[in-house]
Amino acid sequence: MLTGPGPISPQPVMNQLEQLKRFSSVVIDTGDMDMVRNYKPVDATTNPSLIYKAALLPRYQDLITRILHDLRHRSTSYGVDEAIDRIAVALGKEILSCIPGKVSTEVDARLSFDVSATIQKARQLITYYRQQGIERDRLLIKIAGTWEGIQAASVLEREGIKTNITLIFSLQQAEAAAQAGATLISPFVGRILDWHRQHNPQAVYTGDQDPGVQSVRAIYQRFKACGYATIVMAASFRDLDEIRNLAGCDKLTLAPKFLEALQASNEPLQRQLQPDPALTSTRVPEREQDFRWSLNENAMATEKLSEGIRLFTEDLRALEKQLKQWPTSR
């Protein structure tokens, strides 16, 4: 007796985070290990603000105390900047134990206009990681997208130290970083939107009209048309619509609150970004004078880059103050 095929099992419904991971690599933007374990991202990134917040969490108090105790035991003249680097590396090591990919660790924002000091700091961070048994293939050194930062990245990449150029607000910054051979760039979506809302509060910026989304789209299409190997990792989101409208970007770095919201939704999510085979572009070498002039002409990019460096510096100073008052034992 012949029988027909059995009933077809229904396909499990994918939440939006699972759907997003089909189009883009998801990176978590946090220093909280519980969040890293929960959402299982490919990579993770930190910055001075996140390190400062992590240092306030009870779970990291003993770790910081041990680092400061060891430094004070070795020398009473150690610098607080070394303590911050050691803490950043310790957090990075812990994060790497829970992810398969890379962690980004940021160079002191106060070095953003000093090529040689940025290079020296990046090498030092790599050395600290190596002392912890972490090799450079698991690391990205995060550097602000100034002309000096991009030139430092060019040197580091030639040495085999991979870089993440952050605080990207313009196509000119992005292309200069790609021509320098940066492994990855981080264009900031939400901060671009913030600037436009502040300067034109009556305008409606949703969907494709969001200037932050438009900026990342332009960078993504330019990179694919030119054949740049540099990865585009959109960052700094203000809402879920921005994330959904950039599905398909190489990588998306998301705060835990957005990962939670995406995981809670089962609505269909479609890919929005993909290379356009009809586009062809000629690479035009980026010169310093052209870079500086184009940045000067772009008020939003100029202001947001400067503001980003200042804000990271404020959090570094707050962390320095906290560490100077930290007891040797708790």
Residues forming the active site: 142
Amino acid letter, residue 111: L
**Cα 164 to chain center, whole Å?**
7
**End-to-end alpha-carbon separation of the chain, Å?**
78
Contact predicate 244/272, CB 8 Å: yes
In a 3-state reduction of DSSP, which class is residue 105?
A: strand
| Residues 6+ positions from 1 with CB-CB distance below 8 Å | none
CA distance 242 to 1: 57
CA distance 308 to 319: 17
| Residues 6+ positions from 323 with CB-CB distance below 8 Å | 55, 64, 68, 80, 83, 84
Question: What residues are paired with 252 via a beta bridge?
Answer: 26, 234
| Residues 6+ positions from 91 with CB-CB distance below 8 Å | 31, 46, 51, 54, 60
